[in-house]
Amino acid sequence: MLEQGIKAPDFTLNDKDGNAVSLSDFIGKKIVLYFYPKDNTPGCSRQACAFAAAYEGFKEKNIAVIGISKDSVESHRKFAEKYDLPFVLLSDPDRVAIEAYGVWQEKKLYGKMSMGVVRSTFIIDEQGIIEKVMPKVKPDTNASEILEYLK
């Protein structure tokens, strides 16, 4: 997993509407970049809803919120509509950003080992440098912890 103080790797992925979005599009703005395992699963839905509930706080501070998973553009569109998500969701089926940020890792669930996305958040400053790394975050408190950190 990447560490704070280094330049955030740039990437270009499609959003829920199929538009290409690059991390570099947000230079000049602070970014909350969060990686999550899968649309419409209990933890990921709670995390997305927590970000949606806190979104005004991010918007007031001119902070972009971007969620990334391996799900398809279509899955993201349905997920965003279902929960009325106001922030950017990017589809990374080829794990371009997921692997660049080191969040594709071995996970243990019910004694079984498998590879998957470790729920992680990166705060990236206005110059594109990783300011803070939050590995293995909790879905319900991730958004509020970030807002508290950014005070």
User: Would residue 44 show up in a list of annotated catalytic residues for this protein?
Assistant: yes
Backbone angles phi, psi at 94, to 5 degrees: -95, 5
For the chain, domains (ranges, CATH) are 12-140 (3.40.30.10)
**30 secondary structure, DSSP code:** E
Catalytic: which of 13, 31, 32, 44? 44
Q: What is the pLDDT of residue 50?
A: 97
> pLDDT tens across 4-29, in order?
999 999 999 999 999 999 999 999 99
> pLDDT tens across 54-107, in order?
999 999 999 999 999 999 999 999 999 999 999 999 999 999 999 999 999 998
Residues 6+ apart with CB under 8 A from 35: 67, 68, 69, 97, 98, 101, 103, 117, 118, 119, 120, 121
Q: What is the pLDDT of residue 49?
A: 97
What span, in angstroms and rounded, lies between the C-alpha atoms of 108 and 94?
Answer: 22
Average pLDDT of the residues of the chain: 96
